[in-house]
Structure 1
Amino acid sequence: MANVKIGYGAGLWIADDADALTEIAEVISISLPNPQQNDVLATHFKSPGRANEYVPGLIDNGEVTFGINYIAGSATDTLITEALEGGEARDVVVAIPAGATFQYFEYSAIIKGFEKEIPIDDRQTATITMRVNGAVTQSSTNPVTP
C-alpha cells in the first residue's frame, strides 16, 4: 500500500507588522525550502591531477513560492503588500499533512514578488515569491496557535 499524502489541510502563516503569525487565506500551492550546499573552491598550485578541489560551504535555502486565490483588498492582499513594501524579513510557518499529524517548517523570509493574474474566464490568482533568510526548522511541534 502506498503512503502518499495529498496536500489538503496544509496551511501557511506569515508574521504581520506586529510579529503575530497570520494565516494566509485561500492558499492553493506551497513550495518548501530547497536547501543547497554551496561548494567552495579549494584548488591550489599542487592540486592532484590539475583538477579543481572543493570543500563544503554554507547552505542556501533558496526561494519558495506559494499560490493563492487572489482577492483584491482582502486581509491577505494587505499583509503581502505590506510585507513586500516593508522590505524586512518576516517569520513564516508552513504546516503540511503527515499522516494523522502535521510537519511544520519554520523560517524567516523576505517577500520578493507578488504576481497577480486576472484572467477573463477563470479565477483570479496570485503567486508570491519569498527568499528564505537563514536556517529552516522542521518538526512535529505546532508553533502556531490556531
Structure 2
Amino acid sequence: MSQAQRSQGSYIQRGAVSPAAPQTITGITVVGTVATATTSAAHGLAQGSQVTLSGMTPSAFNGLFSVATVPSTTTFTFNTLIAPGGPATVIGAYTANNIAMALFEEASDINLGGVSVSSIDVTHLLSTAKEFIAGLQDNGSCDFTANFINGTVQGLVRADMNAGVTSPYQIVIPGSGPTKTYINFNAFVTKFAGPKLKVDSKVEISVTLKISGAITIVNQ
C-alpha cells in the first residue's frame, strides 16, 4: 500500500526570533550527521529553535543550526553539514534563539527547489583526465504562491525583502496520521511579485526565498 502524503493542509510559516538563555553543554554525541547535545540544565528549546555553536572540536559542530528534535528537557538534536566523525572532544559555547512561527496566509502552492553541490577542479599536471572533488552544498530556493489578502505575515515577508533580512521558515506537511513532517530552513526574500490582477480571477502574489545554510526535515 502506498504511503504517499496528501499536499492539502500543508502550509508555510515565517519565524520571529527571540533570545533564549543558553545552558552549559556537557557533551555532544553524533551518528552520521545527526548530533545530540546534552545540557547541564533545562535548555528551554523547541523543535525549530536556532543554536549557534562555537569553539567546538571537531569543527563540524560549529555553526548555526536548527533544532531538529527535543528528546528531553536537557537534550536536543541538530544536523551538521558534514559528518564530524565522532563526539565532541572540546566543548565550547552556544547561543540560542527560540522561534515563534506564524502562518503565511493562504498559500496555494509551495515548491522547495532542488539541492546542488558545486564541483572543485583539482586537476594537476600529472592528471590523466580532469579531476574534481565535491564542494559545498547549495540548498536552492523555495517558491510559493498565495492569495493576496494583505495579511500580517505577507507584510512581514515583504518588509524582510526590503530590509535584506534572513528569517527562519518552516514548511509543515500534515501526513496521514498524527505525525507531521516539518521542514526548517533560514532564507532571505529574493522576489515578492504582485499583487497580480486579471479578468475573472483571484488576486495572487508569488514569493521566492533563497535558502541559506542547512535544511532539516523531521517527522514529529
Give the TM-score taking structure 1 as reference length: 0.86
Separation in 1, partners of 2:202, 2:154: 15
Residue aligning to 2:193:
115
**Mapped pair 1:130 → 2:209:** yes
Structure with a larger share of its residues in strand: 2
Separation in 1, partners of 2:122, 2:174: 42
2:143 alignment partner, one of 65, 69, 76: 65
**Mapped pair 1:99 → 2:179:** no
Number of aligned positions between the proteins: 138
- Residue 16 of structure 1, CA deviation: 4.1
Aligned CA distance change for structure 1 residues 9 and 68 (closer, same or farther; 3 Å): same
Deviations 1:12-39 (A, max 9, x none): 1112476632111101111124221111
Asked if 2 retains the 8 angstrom alpha-carbon contact of 1:38 and 1:56, the reply is yes
- Residue 121 of structure 1, CA deviation: 1.3
Q: Please state whether the residue corresponding to 1:126 is helix, strand or coil.
A: strand
- Unaligned runs of at least 5 residues, structure 2: 19-98
Asked if 2 retains the 8 angstrom alpha-carbon contact of 1:16 and 1:83, the reply is no
- Residue 97 of structure 1, CA deviation: 3.0
**Mapped pair 1:32 → 2:112:** yes
Which of these two proteins has the greater Rg computed from alpha carbons? 2
**Mapped pair 1:83 → 2:160:** yes
Counterpart amino acid of 2:156?
A: L
Aligned CA distance change for structure 1 residues 20 and 97 (closer, same or farther; 3 Å): closer
Separation in 2, partners of 1:11, 1:70: 15
Asked if 1 retains the 8 angstrom alpha-carbon contact of 2:168 and 2:185, the reply is yes
Asked if 2 retains the 8 angstrom alpha-carbon contact of 1:62 and 1:132, the reply is yes
> Percentage identity across aligned positions?
23
Aligned CA distance change for structure 1 residues 17 and 97 (closer, same or farther; 3 Å): closer
Asked if 1 retains the 8 angstrom alpha-carbon contact of 2:185 and 2:212, the reply is yes
Residue aligning to 2:134:
56
Residue aligning to 1:139:
218
Deviations 1:26-77 (A, max 9, x none): 01111124221111111111111xx211101110001110110112x32133
- Residue 85 of structure 1, CA deviation: 1.1
Asked if 2 retains the 8 angstrom alpha-carbon contact of 1:13 and 1:22, the reply is yes
Give the TM-score taking structure 2 as reference length: 0.58
The structure showing larger relative contact order (alpha-carbon pairs under 8 Å, at least 6 residues apart) is 1
Aligned CA distance change for structure 1 residues 16 and 82 (closer, same or farther; 3 Å): farther
